[in-house]
Chains A and B, each alone.
Chain A
């Protein structure tokens, strides 16, 4: 493991009975990197992500997140990471401020810091007028931006984003990526899955998972050159379906 790796795995494997969901994956993600974790449905992305988040015990292999062992230190890992998914992010029947308070409280931030964060976030996301409105009354795009900000409210080493922009309008989708860049510039490592191939281009590096294995890894320029195609969609097609372009 190199010193600036925030995630590293060596032959990490997860089996469910006779089915191998994640099959000997070996890779590293560096500090401050935006890493795109791509693959077809059922390729094993969610299973791998759960292992890195300390939610699922691997069958074999090694894995470290923020320097912590995913077998022995999964509870410590949970304090050092942030997580956000498209499906579950915020409590719909709590207000904007209550959600911030709730998540910041769970991560052990003190009351003064929480109040400061409530101001900062509302200001940054232009939600000041909505601080006491229920989450259920906000448009999806706003919710997703707030959910991301809440997922990094405790300044984690790394944030896991599982299809964060699904169903979001094209302008808000780009504003969301502005937030990702801002977090990465502040030193937060970003681990993101997406089905939008244009978003793969916004990552520093991506990996492509096929049938539980990492079939390719590198910058999008590197991968397009390697497979001699012009778009990430074609790279996906070649790797995920073994199609000749």
Chain B
């Protein structure tokens, strides 16, 4: 039996722009698969092809065993889709939007209330407010409720957390985790690398190509270079000095520290300390660390 999402060699171009290049991956039942990459990477094209809104140039894909071209009507009945841009009716109230989506799919709010309860109860106090007048976080919750109200088997969420503050983002991922208990398979895209750890499997995507597919744990574990975090009061100047240091493989600012990789394999920490101490900034702290998914992404971009 095919996995709920099954993709083979999908390619798509628009005039002279290649949006997707030979994409293949699978998503298992009740799994959260994160498609992670910047704007313009091809994420939305992939979503539109899988939700039967766009035809691929080449390749095959199946959703719950249904072919995305031949069985498009069937697929539309069993999926929920939350597009990147706010997709609701701005002039309808919160409650009207939700009941409209329910009735299109031949169901009612009451029938599947259990599924949306956790999310919808947070916006229910504002159910008479027009959707256009909701804050960003509330719009996102309403859009998810609308995508869920017919109890879809597969849920497609295109950048649901873009522009949303870090706390609301964490809450949103908590909600997604809970949906797995209902057996719903979720394909979600995000430009925020730190959200990778909330997914069961991730695909890193850039310029229409998948750079890597794995679990977030395995992907960071397989990173084959030593990576050091440097903390210093003179972060910006230290960074610039390291950018022109002869043994630097890569160096990036990373929040409160600098992530440094040496071109030499297995260079000793003590050697780095003594070299850096001779540079203009003697006060610093260096520590070997585990890479993050963002480190992996930047390394893969460098290799491209």
Contacts and interface: CB of A to CB of B under 8 A. Distances in A.
Contacts of B167: 40, 236-237, 240-241
Given A201-B256, A220-B256, A236-B166, A170 B40 contact: no
Contact of B168 (A40, A141, A201): A40
A166 B164 CA distance: 10
A42 B163 contact: no
A240 B162 contact: no
Interface string B155-170: 0000100111111111
Interface string B226-263: 00000000001000000000000000111110000000
Interface size class of B (residues with CB under 8 A): 20 to 34
A169 B236 contact: no
A69 interface: no
B38 interface: yes
B37 A169 contact: yes
Contact of A41 (B135, B254, B256): B135
A48 to B, nearest CB: 15
Contact of A42 (B40, B41, B136, B166): B136
A197 B255 CA distance: 7
A164 to B, nearest CB: 12
Range of interface residues on A (Cβ < 8 Å): 20 to 34
B287 interface: no
Contact of A197 (B136, B163, B166, B252): B166
Interface string A149-191: 0000000000000010011111110100100010000000000
Contacts, number: 82
Nearest to B294: A170
A241 B39 CA distance: 29
Contacts of A232: 255
B289 to A, nearest CB: 14
Given A195-B165, A233-B166, A174 B252 contact: yes
Contact of A170 (B137, B163, B169, B298): B298
Contacts of B191: 166-168
Interface of A: 39-42, 86, 139-141, 163, 166-172, 174, 177, 181, 195-198, 201-202, 220, 231-233, 236-237, 240-241
11 contacts: A40-B168, A41-B136, A41-B164, A41-B168, A42-B137, A140-B38, A170-B193, A171-B302, A236-B165, A237-B166, A240-B167
